[in-house]
Amino acid sequence: MSFTSDQIFDRNKLKTQIANWRFFALLALILLLWSLFGNKANISSPSKYIARVQLEGIIMDDHERNLALKELANDKNVKALIVHINSPGGSFVGGQNVFYALRKIADKKPVVAVMGEIAASGGYMSAIGADHILAREGTLTGSIGILLKSFEVTELAERLGVKLQTLKTSIYKASPNPFEKMPLEVKNAVEDTIQDSFEVFLNMVQERRKIESDKLKTIANGRVYTGRQAFEYGLIDALGGEDEAIAWLAKDKDIKGLEVVDVSLVKQTSRLEKILDSTATIFSNLKYTANTMVLQ
């Protein structure tokens, strides 16, 4: 079947019109979604409020979280901060960075830590950055100590006929190494490192909780304590949750009647941004398809 030049022109024109209609339909969809969700994505916080943040899971060093906490410190509309902590621990530096960030916030406004099911080790280190610490009776906390895990597979390697040759400037370099038996000198060096970090942790607890040195050494043995035990030992200030945190802010800091607003410590993408991102991808694919059709 043959086509005249006019028929080919009309066919290509029709395909172009279809592509254009698809574009305008897509644009109309964007405007509709904007009207439905755009305003919700831009709801502003009250002029003055209490910020609520969640610190959950393994606490590692997190640049975005550190920036978010810094913004809370500088936000004059935030009159207090409630930190909900539910974490079994994490890295030493991760816990320290949260601790110091909370202390900087506390220089400008009250900070309350509310422990959830668990706030141990690095979770506890983070909590002591607050001015006031609350936990439930069944909360698991404490675990003040440092842990470094290593493994050795030299015997297994020998059975498999594998022998690793390592050349290095010192026995301390890249040690402990699972393919080498740990020399006594390396073991002592690792233990010194662990002890030094432990002393830093102890000093942080002693400075913030004002617990006598001898008593603290007894408590800080790596044990996990219930919230009730932690209160008895002075590791926390009171038993309770967010209601008690708000009551403390009202009674001790004269911060009353303010709305508590959730603030994310991770970068959030608004609904509109998600829609626009998805739309851009769809339009890009559609444009490619339309152009291909026209050029056929």
> Residues 82-102: pLDDT tens digits?
999 999 999 999 999 999 999
- Tens of pLDDT, residues 177-190: 888 888 899 899 99
Assess whether pLDDT exceeds 90 at residue 280.
Answer: no
Q: What is the mean pLDDT of residues 273-290?
A: 47
Of 187 and 229, the structure prediction assigns the larger pLDDT to 229
Could you tell me the residue range of the domain that residue 122 belongs to?
A: 46-143+223-267
**How many Cα atoms are found within 13 Å in the side-chain-facing hemisphere of 249?**
28
CATH number of the domain at 242, please: 3.90.226.10
Determine what percent of the chain is predicted with pLDDT higher than 90.
60
Q: Assess whether 136 and 227 both reside in one domain.
A: yes
For 246, list phi and psi in degrees, rounded to 5. Answer: -65, -40
Give the pair of three-digit tokens for residue 127. 């909590």
Last residue in a domain, options 162, 193, 221: 221
Is the pLDDT assigned to residue 59 strictly greater than 90? yes
Alpha helices in the chain (DSSP H): 5-33, 39-41, 63-74, 92-106, 122-127, 154-159, 184-209, 213-219, 227-233, 242-253, 271-294
How would you classify the pairing of strands 224-226 and 140-142? antiparallel
Residues tagged active-site: 121, 173
Whole-number pLDDT of residue 32: 66
Residues 78, 180 within the same domain: no
Q: Are residues 108 and 252 in the same domain?
A: yes
Whole-angstrom CA distances from 79 to 84, 256, 257 are 17, 10, 11
- Residue 252 and residue 130 in one domain: yes
- Mean residue pLDDT of the chain comes to 84
- pLDDT surpasses 50 at 41: no
Closest Cα partner for 119 from 8, 225, 269, 246?
Answer: 225
* pLDDT over 50 at 163, yes or no: yes
Give alpha helix (H) positions in 59-183. Answer: 63-74, 92-106, 122-127, 154-159
Which pLDDT belongs to residue 157? 78
| CATH number assigned to the domain comprising residue 160 | 3.40.1750
0.85 cut: is pTM over it?
Answer: no
Residues 169 and 64 reside in one and the same domain: no
pLDDT value, residue 30: 73
113 with 251, same domain? Answer: yes
101 and 152 both lie in a single domain: no
pLDDT mean over 130-153: 93
Q: 292: burial class by Cβ within 10 Å (0-12, 13-18, 19+)?
A: exposed
Instruction: Note whether 132 and 178 are same-domain residues.
Output: no
Asked whether 150 and 261 are in contact (CB, 8 A), the reply is no
> Cα–Cα distance between 2 and 11 in angstroms, integer?
13
Q: How many domains does the chain have?
A: 3
As a whole number of angstroms, the distance between CA 19 and CA 13 comes to 10
Same domain, 51 and 62: yes
